[in-house]
Amino acid sequence: MDDSVRVGVDVGGTFTDVVLVDETGLTTAKVPTTTPQHEGVLAGIERACDRAGVDPDSVGQFRHAMTIATNALLEADGAETALVTTAGFGDVLAIGRQNRPELYDQSVARPDPLVPAKRRYELDERATTEGIETPVDPEAVRALAAELDDEAEAVAVSSLHAYAHPENERRTAEILRAELDIPVSASHEVLGAFREYERTATTVADAFVTPRIDAYLGRLADGATGRGLPEPSVMQSNGGIADPDTVSQNAVTTALSGPAAGVVGASLFEPDGVEGLVTFDMGGTSTDVSLVREGTVARTTDADVGGRPVRIPMVDVATVGSGGGSIGWVDAGGALRVGPQSAGADPGPACYGRGGSDPTVTDAALLLGYLGPDTTLGGDLELDVEAARDALSALAAAAELSGPVAAARGVFRVANATMTRTIRSVTAERGHDPREFAIAAFGGAGPMHAAALADGLDVSTVVVPRASGVLSALGLLAADERHDAVRTYRARLDEVDIDAVASVLGDLEATVLADASDPEAATVTVEADCRYVGQSHELGVEIEDFDRATVGARFHAAHERAYGYRLPETPVELVTFRATATLGGETPPLAAHGGDEPARRGTREVTFESAVHETPVLSWDGLAPGDRADGPAIVEGGESTVVVPPAWSLTVDDRGTLRLEAER
């Protein structure tokens, strides 16, 4: 193995993306996503190695982002999981919170709990915030283990107030692990924070996905070993890398593995002169949107996956079911809709020629001229124009439109409107003016839509990295190693026990460093979640050496930034401490590749809004740093196509990144 040869692989809903870095630079590949996923991963690595002229057994580092946990949670297709909890609290998953997803929709349906009532078990034990009130009976746990042996593939243990006093829960988990040959997730290990519903739901999610993650990583490791590849490190939802054993112990941390990698990759391309980046990752199945400011990726601990709370640190990503494979359809009222249904990778859009007949966003792009008849996706997938025309003709008839091109325009407009709303949800709805940001467009379809979305948001700058079609895979190679731990500690700031705080922070630091591959080289940062006394929500502030005055001042300032006011006379309450151990990643080469072929490939008719333009088609490999072109123009690369509308221009920077500017 050669440590200078590194591979990153991201599995998407339609394509699996690969980036290989060696001493000669960067090589990319894109192959269809397969079922099972690991076969496509290994095939993609072999293709990238073949293109780079290296043997797979020379790869020294293999990093991977996957959708196993994401799909299991979204589709409620995970392990048969049992929940063990305190007597009287077996229905906490079903009760949840009284708030409704849609305030005025009385018919809205909540997702079913991941654990049905018949697999929820209660133990006669109890902890309070002060200590253990009723110890757990080991014999009762052993008797329960005998019952669970034939009932479940995984067990979640979430005892009342285990975040404060985990003794009962720890003993329960120890016995179950000794008696059963299945994964056991304990809430104080998964999420040591208060709020019983969220802690229980997150622990159940961890147990629910763990057997799937273990099986997948086992198959992938066996296949990798057989080809001389190293075992894969895995992208977590927090935007950091961890080894397979660490991930297996807390599998829910991979719930947003792929989208997190894309945001990390986009953060490498933040241009000067803007407030930050709106990252716009449009793949075959969905679109993911996030924010980057001053190189810092936005993160959250308040996320839902599949309508269920998963309260682990995550890159703050908003996802919508609108991608290149999203299907256009007509609803009962006769309105044209797009998604969230997707044609996926198999059979895929009609134009893939694999038997699909549903009209998709990709079919619309082909008919509008954004993609050409000779365009190949993923390097070798040829497109069938007539199949796309037939699919869109059927949609036009159903929607009572004038023809397939009108249907294609409608599909594009509806898809763009959906994605524009998603961008507004992470900018304007959170107090950020989108006009002060640039859009970083990536994913197989993102660069086709980015300028149109920017027009709708009055954004003037779009950046498209050279490896935009495989940017999530590139982000894997740039990611830090990250490990998180959390512990609830509730006290008024002016009454806090300094020694108790020091003990909590010491335990958290030891926990995150124990997972680090090189504890001596790791950097540990700590945040305190605080609120005004009487509030029900918190804000995180970073702390160094704990000091009451500093923590209070930072919280007042953070509250004013978030909500526009502060309450200096109101006491501040400490709620939760969070620690993160980080080992810095190695940024892969980002230099330009252009100049290998003529820049201009020819022209084709392209529809922008309702007008048709004879549009130059440029080769990304033919563009060199400093090149400039006025719109309209199409730039074709190996993994993505960039659309430059009229009244826009593009320039190429010294790393091969395209910078699109609107003429406003």
pLDDT tens for 287-317 read: 999 999 988 899 998 888 888 899 999 999 9
For residues 606 and 646, give the distance between their C-alpha atoms in angstroms, rounded to a whole number: 11
Which residues make up the CATH 3.40.50 domain(s) of the chain? 73-213
| SS3 state at 64 | strand
pLDDT at 392: 95
The answer, yes or no, to whether residue 127 has pLDDT greater than 90, is: yes
Q: Is the pLDDT of residue 38 over 90?
A: yes
Residue 341 binned pLDDT confidence (cut-offs 50, 70, 90): confident
Task: pLDDT band for 591, please (50, 70, 90 cuts).
Answer: low
Calculate ∠ Cα 609-340-28, nearest 5°.
75
Distance, CA of 483 to CA of 580 (rounded, Å) = 5
DSSP string, 578-594: EEEEEE---PPP-----
Q: Would you say 170 and 199 are in contact if contact means Cβ atoms under 8 Å apart?
A: no
Task: Confirm if 291 and 108 have CB atoms less than 8 A apart.
Answer: no
The ranges of the chain annotated as CATH 3.30.1490 are 481-583
Max CA pair span of the chain: 79
Kindly report the CATH number that applies to the domain delimited by 73-213: 3.40.50
Six-digit token pair at 635?
């730039």
Paired sense of beta strands 572-583 and 481-492, if any: antiparallel
Q: Does the pLDDT of residue 280 top 60, yes or no?
A: yes
Smallest CA-to-CA distance from 454 within 472, 431, 436 is with 436
Confidence of residue 374 (pLDDT cuts 50, 70, 90): confident
pLDDT class of 97 with cuts at 50, 70, 90? confident
CATH of 481-583, one of 3.40.50, 3.30.1490, 3.60.90, 2.50.20: 3.30.1490
Whether pLDDT at 379 is above 70: no
Residue type, 611: A
Out of 15-29, 150-164, 640-654, least confident range: 15-29
* Least confident residue range of 142-146, 157-161, 561-565: 561-565
pLDDT in tens, 6-16: 999 999 877 89
pLDDT for 563: 87
* Token pair of 639 as six digits: 């993994």
Q: How confident is the model at residue 159 (pLDDT cuts 50, 70, 90)?
A: very high
DSSP 459-525: --EEEE-TTGGGHHHHHHHHPPEEEEEEEEEEEEGGG--HHHHHHHHHHHHHHHHHH-SSGGG-EEE
Tokens 């309260």 appear where? 311
Closest by CA to 174, choosing from 162, 159, 184, 182, is 184
Quickly tell me which residue has 């104080």 as its tokens.
Answer: 188
